[in-house]
Amino acid sequence: MKISDLEKKRVLILGFGREGRDTFRFLRKMFPKKTLGIADIKYKIQDTRYKIQNVRWHLGENYLKALKSYDIIIKSPGIPFKILPRSVLGRITSQTEIFFENCPGKIVGITGTKGKSTTSSLIYEILKREAASSRRAKGVKTYLIGNIEKPVLSYLAKAKPDDVYVYELSSHQLYNLKKSPHIAVLLNIYPEHLDYYRNFKEYAQAKENITKYQTKRDFLVYNSTDRLVRKIAKKSKAKRIPIRGEYYSLDKAAAKAVGKIFKVPSKIIDNAIKNLKHLPHRLELVGIFKGITFYNDALATIPEATIGALDTLGDRVETIMLGGYERNIDFKNLARKILESKIKTVILFPTTGERIWQSIRQAQDKAFRRIQGKKLPKHLVVSRIEPFFVDNMPVAVKLAYRYTQKGKICLLSTASPSFSIFRDYKEKGNLFKKQVRALAKEGGTKVEMKQ
């Protein structure tokens, strides 16, 4: 969608969150006198904060009725395609599509179910350091944008041909995209957002768009250990660069590969990787309190992320906090991992906490049947694991202090989204850190509750 195509069209901004507001500011700057439509379910027409000139408001439960009155609909990522009538699908575009069609610079696009934020940050640091140290890169600017909470259209007005945009891309931003980045990074594809998409196949197809429209002049950096990623890469026309790595080292492998495409010296790449701090809520070390090491992995919203955290931290993990919003994800592999670990206490949040515990019990039963009456190995005896079902963070942290031994680890890595009792992963992670530090100053961690 070219910007010039928007000038004489009736344009609706569908969704007025962070990205929708950025779209509004961009369009208002480009077309100061143009009347724009804004539709969002969360706001009411009486909300006086949004009395802005040249705006038609479509707010509240009937916000989708406005779709038929507009030529172009700029949809925010949070609104699923599946709730929209098929008759409007041909009129829908997005910030991502507008940016891709109009940006004169190079785009490095990064996606994956997990790891894309860290990978994007690493690539950005590598390219920024190269631009700062190399004469041949003088004047080149690198920007970190996209799903990492930096809407993109505000960057478009000043974009130059030599600029490089490191663009973290969610599946929602990739959905329906008809142009792929010059350099694409595809990390992994696990079942996720199954409440947003019609099925897992549709989710995977959205991810595939990162390379689907690449040409022989483009590059695809992909995880060769992921079966589905390999299948997608095989169809790509781009120059394919396979990478390998465990869950928490794959981001470094991808960043190194992109650095080499840009001919960045190895010393700069290695220094950038060495000095990058962990992003908040991603296996973040909270600290050691009362002899217990606490890790905040609040962004682990799928089982594979939690398994990756357990692989990284090893046998010192004695207490783990699990559970959250229900998206009908399979917990069998996570249950087996927990049984094989040294975990003694599982603290379970609603709604999936109950189902995770059932999966752990079922995994033990299956292992018991397999050995047919023989003595069950100690690491599979589920009776050694004590479950606690809680509905708030203060009680969860009190239990962690009470049941985790000195020298061991308590890990918040819920394998589920946060929306059951928390607003989002940030609130969950911040509450965890706050309670860990607050109780460290207090003497008592006694808690009475039913198991």
Over residues 193-243, the pLDDT tens digits come to 888 899 999 999 999 999 999 999 999 999 999 999 999 999 999 999 999
Q: What is the mean pLDDT of the chain?
A: 91
- How far apart CA 255 and CA 265 sit, in angstroms, is 13
pLDDT in the model for residue 121: 96
Tokens of 60: 């509240």
Is the pLDDT score of 73 beyond 90?
yes
What is d(CA 374, CA 51) in angstroms, rounded to the nearest whole number? Answer: 73
Q: 226, 253 in Cβ contact below 8 A?
A: no
pLDDT tens digits, one per residue of 34-58: 999 999 998 765 554 556 789 999 9
Q: Domains, the chain, ranges and CATH?
A: 3-93 (3.40.50.720), 103-275 (3.40.1190.10), 284-441 (3.90.190.20)
User: pTM above 0.85?
Assistant: yes
Cβ atoms within 10 Å, residue 192:
21
Split at pLDDT 50, 70, 90, the class of 79 is: very high
**Above 50 in pLDDT, residue 451?**
no
The β-bridge partners of 39 are: 14, 58
pLDDT computed for residue 256 by the predictor: 97
Query: Amino acid identity, residue 115?
Result: G
Q: Is the pLDDT of residue 381 over 60?
A: no
Q: What is the pLDDT of residues 266-316, one digit of tens each?
A: 999 999 999 988 789 999 999 999 999 999 999 999 999 999 999 999 999
